[in-house]
Structure 1
Amino acid sequence: MAGTDAVDGDGGATQERRGTSGLIDRVRASAREVAERHALPICAAGTVLLLLAIFYYPVATVFRESVVVDGRATLSVFWAVLADPFYFGELARVLTGTPPSVVLDSLLSGDPRLGVVGFTAYQAALSSVASVALGLPAAYLLSRYEFPGRRTLRSLTILPFVLPSIMVAVGFVATFGQNGTLNTVLGALGLGQVDLLFSLEAVVVAHAFYNAPLVARVTTAAWESVDASAVETARSLGASPTRAFCDVVAPQIYPAVVLGTVLTFVFTFGTFPIVLALGGFELATVEVFVYRLVRDLEYAEAAALALVELGISLALLYAYLRYEARHTVAAEGIRPLPRRPLRPPSLSVRELAPRVGLALYVVVALAVFVAPIASMVYASLTGPTGPTLAHYEFLLERQVSGASFQVQPWDAVRNSLLFAGAALAVALPMGVVVAVLTTRRYRGRKVLDAVAMAPLAVSGIVVGLGLLRGLVFGVEVGGTRVAVGGALAIVAAHAVAGYPFVVRTVAPGLAGLDRSLVESARALGASRARVLADIELPLVWPAVVAGAAFAVAISIGEFSATVVLASGTSQFTMPIAIERFIGRRLGPATAMGVVLLVVTSASFLVIDHLGGETDAF
């Protein structure tokens, strides 16, 4: 009987443990279900709060400086900037009471005063024209001809987004400088030297180096989306090849050209490192003057000028997003135009003419796109007496000397990699969440897209100044002053610069997914977060990895915000080191530029190797 009681007791205990275990499992399942159901809203709220903390609040802090002086609100500083002919040229006279007709006559004169803002817009317009002129032939080549290496060449159009601008500036100095490769070649041919450095031409060509591939990329995608059957129908109705192109192909291409032009204008309107290195003070843009005002501690005037720049850039960016929404070409169910072999099957004039034009374009493209990088590498390996490694030895000696007032090359490399890793950890989840939010159909989605893409229009100088004034200097929260270190501020600036590129790579993939897969999973009871994690993200994984590669490469090459936040600290990066060197000796600057090129390319390739081809922008 006692044994029976013992067995009953053990059985009861086992049954009780099973009941407890089942209860725990049910509680866990319920908690997991609640977490999955609310995961996406929580991530969205966290992303919004993070953006407010590291971008919108710092930027608002900068603009507050322009309207709040000595503790009281005033528009005097902002008005003074608008009415200053130094900044707005002839247009400033309108605010001082000059009749508009008189101002218009002055603007139409042979040599009108443009002011800093007018000159910035002028050089941005020239850069946009040059970028379109170089980008369209490349788009024609990539979309209409088949040749070995075409896919590789198409992939290379993404390179400008991962090449640091200060490094490209060094390459252009090595190419167009007084002792650059261009003058070396001209001297060998017995021709006179040219001095393109510190000229508007050098700035425009350098901007075209960056933005012509962007124009080529978006235009190629549009050209490949043209339905061949529509062209064939026009031809069958008697249209000539030129008429068919003008009536069928061109209307589907020009929106992409407009998009590329607007983006180029926005990017070059806020230019900084290239103008700083190649333009000199006489060609300084708004961004350069904002930086100078910050260095002179004229924060109110710098903020007012930055507000003008932001207003122009945001207006153009918003117009671009609306235009993109209206002119997006659906590529589903179309038959693309067939590509012709680059090597003509016959020697007819009709077959050879476009190919001769493309051959001439290739010569120009090599001079613009390849020569600066090749010149930088060449200059780093040569000296007055011939080939040498002295410039790299200089970097090693600088590292060994360890002087506290000097930039240490290895420390710059280490800081760049650490900042890039930390920025990736912030930018990648932010970008994925924003991409998810901006690809859902609901009212106000385009406004959210414009707000989320605002960092593309806000200059790095403004972001850096805002983080410096708003977070590094500290902010009062409940009677306690909260401040962050310079390193955290730099990571925040790099994350802000990188996450829009994550959005622009991931969002097209999410938008193009078959919605029936998502709807089927939801019908079977899967939560929104589970569908995203198990179905959507695995299908767009190459785009996610490409976005990560962008974030890392952009962080490594970021200069504008970093130069503000790293001033007076030891948190310098490779671009900062190049800027310090280029003002003293070109050789070490080119050697550091090669190091930056190797590190950036290796980081991008290692990460992108895990993903695949993507169509950012």
Structure 2
Amino acid sequence: MSARQNTLSRPPAGAFYGASPGRKRLRVNRAVLFTLVPALTFFCAFWLLPFARLVVMGTEPDNHSGASAYWTVLTHPRYLGSLFSTLWLSLAVAGLAVALASVCGFFLARNQFPGKTWLLSILTFPLAFPGVVVGFLVIMLGGRQGALAQLSQSLFGERWMFAYSLTGLFVGYLYFSIPRVVMTVMAACEKLDRSLEEAARSLGASHWRVICDVIIPAIRPALLSTGAICFATSMGAFGTAFTLGTRMNILPLSIYGEFTNYANFAMAAALSVILGLVTWLALALARRLAGDVVGAPA
């Protein structure tokens, strides 16, 4: 073979480099990084920088005590009471919403009947309401001129009210939490493998054992995730609480009062950071537990 033919049959020197996996991977990484720039810019500008500013502002002296706002939150009974009231309220809403809506979601996922589509539309309708409307509905139910007050007045001669308290707030939070759980549980139940239930029954398991040992473990990730979402929503919900009254001692109203009424920016920042951290921890814990369940071997 002549030298000219050997040169023509040899591939170009850069052909191997252009087709190397490392070069292709580098190009892909650059493209992904380029597409992430807008998202990272938005994240830094509208979340990271403001939240960092809140964290720093919370270390400044509180207007009333003169100490660090974080220390005041942990030592002052009023702020501790606000934190614990919000925690217990959110936990109660999340627990009851998951308990009630899980049964409803499982029934709707397993049964077909006329009007099911309309029923689902009605159940999810509260998701379209802002917090102010939900608070107004609670007032119309348990306020001074609500249905319960008028009924108790006609039957017992006194007005029964619950709208302007933590009970009314609990009812309002539960009202817009149940639809979230119903739809999530329905989606999880529709993916269940019914052969596992049939196998458990064939081995002699009772109806309740099938529920406890097969169905609940299978939909446990959905229950954990939607419970955490209900908890996080209840922790930071403001519109419903503000409509029902500004004297309730919960974190969103405390933040609003410190910021607008007293110009106590350090305390408002500290309470905001604590609220955000508690909510983030709940979501991270639920995600971890749900992930462990999903990834567990059969």
Shorter-chain TM band: 0.7 to 0.9
> 2:293 matched to which residue of 1?
327
2:123·2:179 contact (CA, 8 Å) conserved in 1?
yes
Q: Percent identity?
A: 26
TM (normalized to structure 1)?
0.40
Separation in 1, partners of 2:155, 2:70: 54
Report the CA distance between 1:56 and its aligned residue: 1.7
1:132 maps onto 2:98 in alignment: yes
For 2:89, which of 116, 123, 126 is the aligned residue?
123
Q: Which amino acid aligns with 2:45?
A: A
When structure 1 is superposed on structure 2, of 203-212 and 242-251 the one drifting more is 242-251
SS of structure 1 residue aligned to 2:69 = helix
Greater share of helix residues, 1 or 2?
2
1:143 maps onto 2:135 in alignment: no
Report the CA distance between 1:75 and its aligned residue: 7.7
2:246·2:253 contact (CA, 8 Å) conserved in 1?
no
Report the CA distance between 1:210 and its aligned residue: 0.8
Separation in 2, partners of 1:251, 1:36: 40
> 1:53 matched to which residue of 2?
45
SS of structure 2 residue aligned to 1:179 = coil
SS of structure 2 residue aligned to 1:146 = coil
Report the CA distance between 1:68 and its aligned residue: 4.6
Q: Which amino acid aligns with 2:259?
A: V
1:254 maps onto 2:220 in alignment: yes
Report the CA distance between 1:185 and its aligned residue: 4.5
Report the CA distance between 1:189 and its aligned residue: 6.2
Separation in 2, partners of 1:259, 1:125: 14
For 1:226, which of 171, 178, 192 is the aligned residue?
192
Report the CA distance between 1:253 and its aligned residue: 2.6
- Within a 5 Å distance, the mapping from 1:34-53 to structure 2 comes to 40-53=32-45
The superposition leaves residues 142-170 of structure 1 with CA deviations (integer Å, 9 ceiling, x where unpaired) of 12221123244335554443321111112
1:304 maps onto 2:270 in alignment: yes
Q: Which amino acid aligns with 1:285?
A: I
Report the CA distance between 1:234 and its aligned residue: 1.6
Separation in 1, partners of 2:141, 2:228: 28
The superposition leaves residues 577-610 of structure 1 with CA deviations (integer Å, 9 ceiling, x where unpaired) of xxxxxxxxxxxxxxxxxxxxxxxxxxxxxxxxxx
Distance 1:69 1:116, change over 3 A: closer
> 2:56 matched to which residue of 1?
64
> 1:497 matched to which residue of 2?
none
Separation in 1, partners of 2:147, 2:284: 41
> 2:251 matched to which residue of 1?
286
Report the CA distance between 1:49 and its aligned residue: 0.3
- Within a 5 Å distance, the mapping from 1:35-434 to structure 2 comes to 40-68=32-60, 76-88=68-80, 115-186=81-152, 192-281=158-247, 283-295=248-260, 296-328=262-294
Report the CA distance between 1:222 and its aligned residue: 2.0
1:276·1:284 contact (CA, 8 Å) conserved in 2?
no
Higher relative contact order (CA 8 A, sep 6+): 2
Q: How many residues align?
A: 266
Separation in 2, partners of 1:305, 1:297: 14
Separation in 1, partners of 2:75, 2:238: 24
Report the CA distance between 1:291 and its aligned residue: 0.9
Separation in 2, partners of 1:245, 1:197: 36
Distance 1:160 1:64, change over 3 A: farther
Separation in 2, partners of 1:245, 1:156: 27
1:134·1:208 contact (CA, 8 Å) conserved in 2?
no
Separation in 2, partners of 1:236, 1:224: 22
Please report the RMSD computed on the Cα atoms of aligned residues, expressed in angstroms: 2.9
Report the CA distance between 1:264 and its aligned residue: 1.4
The superposition leaves residues 152-209 of structure 1 with CA deviations (integer Å, 9 ceiling, x where unpaired) of 4335554443321111112222222111233345556677531112122211111110
- Within a 5 Å distance, the mapping from 1:437-586 to structure 2 comes to none
Distance 1:141 1:75, change over 3 A: same
When structure 1 is superposed on structure 2, of 48-57 and 37-46 the one drifting more is 37-46
The superposition leaves residues 232-269 of structure 1 with CA deviations (integer Å, 9 ceiling, x where unpaired) of 11222222333223222221133322322222112112
Separation in 1, partners of 2:206, 2:48: 54
Separation in 2, partners of 1:241, 1:125: 29
2:104·2:182 contact (CA, 8 Å) conserved in 1?
yes
Separation in 2, partners of 1:289, 1:238: 55
2:55·2:269 contact (CA, 8 Å) conserved in 1?
yes
Q: Which amino acid aligns with 1:87?
A: Y
**Structure 2 gap segments, 5+ residues each:** 1-26
1:198·1:280 contact (CA, 8 Å) conserved in 2?
no
Q: Which amino acid aligns with 2:87?
A: A
